[in-house]
Structure 1
Amino acid sequence: MHLPVAILALGLATFITSCTSAPSSTTPIQSSPHVIHEKRAADPLDWLISHKPSADKVLPLRIGLTQQNVDQLSDMLMAVSHPDSPNYGKHWTPQQVVDMFAPKKESADKVVGWLRDFGFEKERIRMSANKGWIEVRASLEEVEELLRTEYFVYKHVETGEEQISCETYSVPADVREHIDLIKPTVHFNHRPSPKSTTKFKRSGVNLGKPGVSTVGPKKSAGAQPVPPTLADCDKMITLDCLKALYDVPDFNPVSLDTNSYGIVEFTPQAFLAGDLDLFFSNFSPSLVGVRPKTVLIDGAVVQTTNQSFDFNGESDLDLEYGMALVNPQTVTLLQTGDLVEGAGFDNWLDAVDGSFCTFEGGDDPTQDGIYPDPLPGGFKGAESCGIIAPPFVVSTSYGQDESTITAFSAMRQCTEYGKLGLMGTTILYSSGDNGVAGNGGVCLNSQGQPVDNGTMFNPDFPATCPFVTAAGATQVNPGSTVFDPEGACEQVIFSGGGFSNIFAIPDYQQTAVSSFLTNHPPPYTSAQFNNSGTSRAFPDLAANGANYVIGIDGEFELVFGTSCSSPVVGSFITMVNDARLAAGKSPVGFINPAIYSDQFSDAFNDITIGTNQGCNTVGFTATEGWDPVTGVGTPNVSKLIPLFLSLP
C-alpha cells in the first residue's frame, strides 16, 4: 500500500498562508526589478479562502540559499554507484558532502544585503549552522512587501482546519540566482493534522494505509496459525511465498554489528507489540518479544491510544515483514513527529544528516513539523538534528502527489537523497497505489492542476526523484503458483508508475526508457503524460504487493500495496549489504545505476503481464524490459547477492 501521504500531517499551528502576487506601494525601490521566483504547485482541493491574516502576525521566514555543485551531483553519484566505475563503493564522508555543496559566501552576502537594504536590522537576520539557510523574523506585512505577494487564510471545507499560503512570490532579479526557495510561501499543506480523524478523500498528501481485503481470511489471536504453504500464495502472501518467489537464500547474517536497516513511520501511525508477536508466533517464532530499535524523532511517540487499521496498519506491515526477513539483524524504526504537529520527509532527513538541519530547521511549515512545537501539548525540545547515522538502507512507504509540491522544494529534497547516496545509503520509496493517477484517484488538468475528472496522469513524489529507488507492486495472479510469472498488481491497488513533470531523466535509465517508448509506445499523447522521453520515469523495480497476511489489531488480515513492496526490497538489499560488509566491502548505497545495467539484467524477473490503470485509462502496460508499471522487474536475491559481491 502506499501511504498516500507521505508527509504526513502537519498542522501549521492554526493556519497556513496563501499568497497572490500583489506589489505594495510602500515597497522600497530596488536596484533590480522583481521577478516571480515560485508559483504554487497546485490549487488546493477542498480549501476555500476564509480571511486575511493579521498584518502583525510573525512569520519565521526561511530563505534557502543556492547550493554549489548541485549540477554535478548526478555524476558524483554515478562515480560511486555504477558497477563499471573504478570508484564504485568509495562513498563520501559527511564532511566531504558538506564542503562540496555549501552555498557560496557570495550568495549569503547577496541575500543578507537585500534584507538589510529592505530595512531589516542585522539582529533580526540569522544564518544556519550549515550556511544553507537564512532566517529573518518578520511580520506578515513586512513579508508581503519584501516578496511582493499577498497571504490569505484558507479553511478546509470538511475539517475546518485553517492554513496560510500565497499563490506566487517575487524577488529581485539579481538575487534570484542565489535563492533556491523561500518558506513559508506557496508550499500549501494538503493534509489534515495528526489530530484529525477525517481523511481527505481527494487529498494528494493525506495519511494512507495498506488496503484491506474484504474477502480474505481474518483470524483472531486465538485462531489456528495461517498455514505457511506455497499452495495458497495466489490468495495470501507469507514469508515463505516471498522467499520462493524471489529465490531468497537462507539468511545467516554475520555483520550484525555493522549492518543497518531503517524503516520510517510518521506519528500517529504506530505498531502494536501484540500485533508483532501475533505475526511472529506464526511465521518467525524466534522474534516473539523482539522489538525494533526505536529512534524517536522530534518528540515522536509509538502511540497505543488509538488502535485501528488507520493507526496501526502501515507500521505493523512494514515491521512484521522487514524484521522477519532479515532476522536476526536489528531493524531501526525511525518514528517521526509528535502527536500534535506531525512530520514530513524533511524531518527524518534532519535526523540522519545534521548538515541538512538549520538552527530551527530548514523545514517547511507547510510540509514538515517545526520544532520546538509551539502548539499546546506539542514537543518543546529542540529538533532532532543528526541524532543517528544514516542507516545503510531506509524504506519509506509514504508519498505525495508530485503536483502538490513545488519544483524548487522537490529538487532541494531530492538533492538530499542524492547526498545520502553519496554517503552509502540506499533510499527506497513506494511508488503509489493508484496506477497513473494520484492519491485518491485524482488526475490533473491541462495546466497540471489536480481536479475532479482530470485526464492528465498524476505521478508520485518522492518516487520521481532520480536519487531514490522507487518500488512498484506485482501479484501472484489468481490460479497461479509462485513458480509461474507474476503480473503487475491489479488486485485492490494498481502499481504507481509513469513519468515526472519535474525531474529530468537520469543517465542510468536513458537506454531503458528510450527502448520502452520506441518499442512499446503508449497510446497516449502529451496531453496525458510527459512523453518527451527526457523526464525521470518510475518505478525502478517491483515486488509483490497483494494479499499480504499481517497481524493487525489482534487478528490476521490481508493487505495490498506498494507499501508492502518497499520494506521487502529493503530487506533484500540489507541481505546484500551483509555479504559485502562480511567481505570487508562497503554497503551498496545507491543501487539504480547497477540494477539498470546489462550486468544485472539476469538478476531480475521481467514482468510482462498487467497494467496500472487510472485517469479513465488502462494506464501503462507491463512488457519486455523496463516499463513504467514494474520497472526492471522483481529481484532474484540468489543472483543479486553474488553480483553485488563481485563489485569492488
Structure 2
Amino acid sequence: MHVFKHIHFADTNRSGQALANGGQGYFPADIRRLYNIPNDLTGAGQTIGIVEFSSGYSLQDATLFWKMHGITPPQVAFVSIDGTRNDGGMREDDEEASLDLQWAGAIAPGAQFVIYEANAGETYAEFEAAMLHALNYILNDNQYRPSVLSISYGDGEDSFDAGALQSMADIIQKLDERGVTVCIASGDQGAYGLHNPYGPYSRHADAPATSPHAVAVGGTHLYAHGGECAWTYLGPQHGGASGGGFSDIFPKPSWQTAVPGHARGVPDLALNADPDSGYQMVFQGQPTIVGGTSVACPVFAAMIALANERRASLGRKPLSSLPQVLYSYSSQLGFRDIVVGDNTYNGVIGYEAKPGWDAVTGFGSVDATTFIETLANDIP
C-alpha cells in the first residue's frame, strides 16, 4: 500500500526549462528567501515530531544534506511506536522519512526532532490502526512533548473506515488542545484524491488531512521570482496535483466561514510542492529532486516551530487552535493569495484557484515573516 506523498521528475520541468540551481532543485536558502523566512529564528527550544510509516531514515543522508547547505545538524531522536527498527534508510519507502527530516531540519535547525516510526501494514485497515496507535502514543508522550507534528501520509476518505477517521480526528483535537499543532499533507492526487488510479472517478478529499483540528497543507508551483500558481498537471495520471476538496465525513467547522457549503474544506494553505519547482534532497548518498505535499507539510511545520520560538521569547505558550486562527485572522497573516490553476487530476475535474479561500491552495502560501510575527504577537 502506497500512502506516502512525494514524486520525482527529471532535472527539467514540463516546459523544458531547467530547474533551480542548474537543475539541482531549490536549496534551503532559496525557500527561505522566497517565503521570507526570518533568519533570526531557528526553532530553538522547540520539539518537532514527524510521524513516519516506513522502515526508518538515514541520518547520514540528512547530515550530508545539511552540511551541503551550511546548516548545523539538529538533534534527532528515534522512537519506535510498535517495535519497527530504523534500518538507516535502506529501502525505497524510507525516502519519505529522510525527506521530511531533511527539510524540516533545514528550516528549523535549532529544534529537536523526534521521528515517530510505525509499520503501515499492507492494508488500509492496518494503516488506520498504525495511525491511531501513533497518535495515541504521541498524545501520551511525556518525554519529548512536541509542540508541532508533521504527517505526510494519507489517501482519499473513501479508503478508510469512517469510524477510524473520527477516532483520528478526536485524538488530533486533543493534541491541538494541548498545544500540539498537527500539520497533514493534503495529498498529491488533486481533487481525485486516490492513489488507486482506477476509480471511482469522482472527487475525494484526503484523510486524515480532513480532520477539522489539523492544518491541511496543499501544494503550489513556486517560480524563481517568487510568484506562485496552483500545483496542477493535466497530463498522465502520475503527474500529481494539489489535494483539495470537501469532506464526506466531517461537517464544516464553525470557523471555516470563508468556505462554501456545509463540509470541512481542505487545504487550509499551501506551499511549493510541484516537482517542476522541486526541492533538492539526498537519498542513499545521492542528491535528487522531489516534490509533493509531503515536503510542503514539514516545511510548514518548521515554520510553526519558528512561531512558537518567537512566542516563547515573549513569554507565551505554544500555539493552539491554529486551524481556527488561520480563518479568524486570515486578513492579518500575510497569506499570498493564489488565483491561477486548478487541481484537475486523473480525468476528474478539480476546483479552481480563485481570490480568497479555495479547495486547491486554501488561503494560499505565506510571507513567513508576517505570518510568524502575527502568530507571535497578536494571538493569545
The TM-score bracket by the shorter chain reads 0.7 to 0.9
Q: SS at 1:413's partner residue?
A: helix
1:439 aligns with 2:222: no
Say if 2:338 and 2:361, in contact at 8 Å, map to a contact too: yes
Query: Once the 2 structures are TM-superposed, how far is the Cα of residue 337 of structure 1 from its aligned partner?
Result: 3.9
Q: Which residue is equivalent to 1:557?
A: 288
1:407 aligns with 2:162: yes
Query: Once the 2 structures are TM-superposed, how far is the Cα of residue 214 of structure 1 from its aligned partner?
Result: 3.1
1:236 corresponds, among 3, 25, 41, to 25
1:488 corresponds, among 210, 230, 248, to 230
| Counterpart AA for 1:344 | A
2:131 corresponds, among 345, 354, 368, to 345
| Counterpart AA for 2:54 | T
| Counterpart AA for 2:50 | I
Query: Once the 2 structures are TM-superposed, how far is the Cα of residue 348 of structure 1 from its aligned partner?
Result: 1.2
Query: Once the 2 structures are TM-superposed, how far is the Cα of residue 453 of structure 1 from its aligned partner?
Result: 4.7
Q: Which residue is equivalent to 2:16?
A: none
When normalised by structure 2's length, the TM-score is: 0.88
Say if 1:504 and 1:536, in contact at 8 Å, map to a contact too: yes
Q: Which residue is equivalent to 1:464?
A: 210
Segment of structure 1 superposing worse, 244-253 or 574-583: 244-253
Q: Which residue is equivalent to 2:69?
A: 283
1:570 aligns with 2:320: no
| Counterpart AA for 1:415 | D
Encode CA deviations 1:206-262: one digit per residue, 9 max, x unaligned. Answer: 343511213459xxxxxxxxxxxx964997222122112211110344x734x2211
Q: SS at 1:438's partner residue?
A: coil
Q: Which residue is equivalent to 1:307?
A: 90
How many residues of Structure 1 are paired with residues of Structure 2 in the alignment?
362
CA distance change for structure 1 residues 285 and 566 in 2, over 3 Å: closer, same or farther?
Answer: closer
**Could you list the runs of 5+ residues in structure 1 that have no partner in the other structure?**
1-190, 192-205, 218-229, 355-385, 443-451, 515-532
Q: Which residue is equivalent to 1:106?
A: none
Q: Which residue is equivalent to 1:262?
A: 49
CA distance in 1, matches of 2:179, 2:348: 39
Say if 2:184 and 2:209, in contact at 8 Å, map to a contact too: yes
Say if 2:162 and 2:249, in contact at 8 Å, map to a contact too: yes
CA distance in 2, matches of 1:507, 1:587: 23
| Counterpart AA for 1:494 | A
CA distance in 2, matches of 1:535, 1:472: 17
Encode CA deviations 1:9-51: one digit per residue, 9 max, x unaligned. Answer: xxxxxxxxxxxxxxxxxxxxxxxxxxxxxxxxxxxxxxxxxxx
Q: SS at 1:236's partner residue?
A: coil
Q: SS at 2:29's partner residue?
A: helix
Say if 1:488 and 1:607, in contact at 8 Å, map to a contact too: yes
Q: Which residue is equivalent to 1:17?
A: none
| Counterpart AA for 1:509 | Q
1:292 corresponds, among 66, 76, 84, to 76
CA distance in 2, matches of 1:569, 1:408: 28
CA distance in 1, matches of 2:205, 2:163: 17
1:425 aligns with 2:180: yes
Query: Once the 2 structures are TM-superposed, how far is the Cα of residue 455 of structure 1 from its aligned partner?
Result: 3.2
CA distance in 2, matches of 1:346, 1:580: 30
Say if 2:71 and 2:109, in contact at 8 Å, map to a contact too: no
1:624 aligns with 2:355: yes
Q: SS at 1:428's partner residue?
A: strand
Encode CA deviations 1:554-577: one digit per residue, 9 max, x unaligned. Answer: 111111100011000000000000
Q: Which residue is equivalent to 1:272?
A: 58
Say if 1:402 and 1:460, in contact at 8 Å, map to a contact too: yes
TM alignment of 1:151-300, pairs within 5 A: 191=1, 206-215=2-11, 232=21, 236-253=25-42, 256-257=44-45, 259-268=46-55, 270-287=56-73, 292-300=76-84
CA distance in 1, matches of 2:11, 2:321: 39
Based on CA coordinates, which of the two structures has the bigger radius of gyration?
1
CA-based RMSD: 2.5
Query: Once the 2 structures are TM-superposed, how far is the Cα of residue 618 of structure 1 from its aligned partner?
Result: 3.8
TM alignment of 1:141-160, pairs within 5 A: none
CA distance change for structure 1 residues 272 and 231 in 2, over 3 Å: closer, same or farther?
Answer: closer
Q: SS at 2:173's partner residue?
A: helix
Q: Which residue is equivalent to 1:157?
A: none
Q: Which residue is equivalent to 1:542?
A: 270
Say if 1:284 and 1:324, in contact at 8 Å, map to a contact too: no
When normalised by structure 1's length, the TM-score is: 0.53
Q: SS at 2:210's partner residue?
A: coil
1:319 corresponds, among 94, 101, 125, to 101
**Could you list the runs of 5+ residues in structure 2 that have no partner in the other structure?**
14-18, 234-238
Q: SS at 2:213's partner residue?
A: coil
State the identity as a percent: 28
Q: Which has the higher contact order (CA 8 A, sep 6+)?
A: 2
| Counterpart AA for 1:622 | A
CA distance in 1, matches of 2:322, 2:330: 13
Q: Which residue is equivalent to 1:146?
A: none
Encode CA deviations 1:162-184: one digit per residue, 9 max, x unaligned. Answer: xxxxxxxxxxxxxxxxxxxxxxx
Say if 1:273 and 1:291, in contact at 8 Å, map to a contact too: no
Say if 1:353 and 1:389, in contact at 8 Å, map to a contact too: no
Query: Once the 2 structures are TM-superposed, how far is the Cα of residue 617 of structure 1 from its aligned partner?
Result: 3.5
| Counterpart AA for 1:482 | H
